[in-house]
Chain A
Amino acid sequence: GEDVEQSLFLSVREGDSSVINCTYTDSSSTYLYWYKQEPGAGLQLLTYIFSNMDMKQDQRLTVLLNKKDKHLSLRIADTQTGDSAIYFCAEIGASGGSYIPTFGRGTSLIVHP
């Protein structure tokens, strides 16, 4: 089946930029997502990018997509302690009868003063 890989942990200092990386295998991916999970809560959509785009910016968040390498990244500028959470990369494909998103294991972002 399709696979989404991401590193498990990232530690950054408050005020620095964070970059969370993700790779995927589904060449038919149509949409790619970043979800945020705070402690004790569900997954909330942060942002998504359509596969024909290279970049999407939304305030402190920048998503970069390299479709050739099947690589997605999420950059958080001026990282704050409130950004500490688990970040999930996900993709959904366009081909076939099923329309099932595939999630990575999640990257735990730890922001320290």
Chain B
Amino acid sequence: DAGVIQSPRHEVTEMGQEVTLRCKPISGHNSLFWYRQTMMRGLELLIYFNNNVPIDDSGMPEDRFSAKMPNASFSTLKIQPSEPRDSAVYFCASLPARERGNTIYFGEGSWLTVV
């Protein structure tokens, strides 16, 4: 399997612009997570999907952030409008159903810089 695939790997954008990050989870995994990593706050869980349904979005920082999972093989995290404090690494991760496995796999991350 190709693993969790994220795009873009790097993005530099101007404040106020819309940013869309994409994720393709591992085939057959039914849970998908979006994390944000910064030096100050470490690894934060933003939102968690199970069978394409958002289960817990309490980590989404503001209304400027939104996430969707239209099908089992694709998810997006959107920031609109973006701000400099959104600069971080955003990771997508996937996990199989409990009875099928126990390991969460991460993508390589999307490195976002908002100037």
Interface residues of A (CB under 8 A from B): 30-31, 33, 35, 41-45, 48, 88, 90, 92, 94, 98-101, 103, 105-106
> What is the chain B residue whose CB lies nearest that of A106?
B42
Contact residues on B (Cβ < 8 Å of other chain), bracket? 20 to 34
Q: Are A98 and B108 in contact (CB under 8 A)?
A: no
B residues sitting closer than 8 Å to A (CB atoms) are 31, 33, 42-43, 45, 48, 50, 55-56, 91, 93, 95, 98, 102-109
Decide yes or no: A45 and B103 within 8 Å by CB, A99-B31, A100-B48, A100-B56 being known contacts. Answer: yes
Q: Smallest CB-CB separation from B93: which chain A residue?
A: A43
Chain B hits for A30, CB < 8 A: 102
Is there an interface contact between B102 and A48, defined as CB atoms closer than 8 Å?
yes
Give chain B residues whose Cβ lies under 8 Å from the Cβ of A98.
48, 55-56
A-B pairs, top 7 by smallest CB distance, nearest first, are A105-B42, A42-B106, A43-B106, A42-B108, A31-B102, A103-B43, A42-B109
Q: How far is the CA of A45 from the CA of B94 in the complex (A)?
A: 13
Which A residues are CB-close (under 8 A) to B43? Answer: 43, 88, 103, 105-106
21 contacts between A and B (CB under 8 A): A33-B103, A35-B106, A41-B108, A41-B109, A42-B106, A42-B109, A43-B91, A44-B106, A45-B103, A45-B104, A48-B102, A88-B43, A92-B102, A92-B104, A100-B33, A100-B48, A100-B56, A103-B42, A103-B43, A105-B42, A106-B43
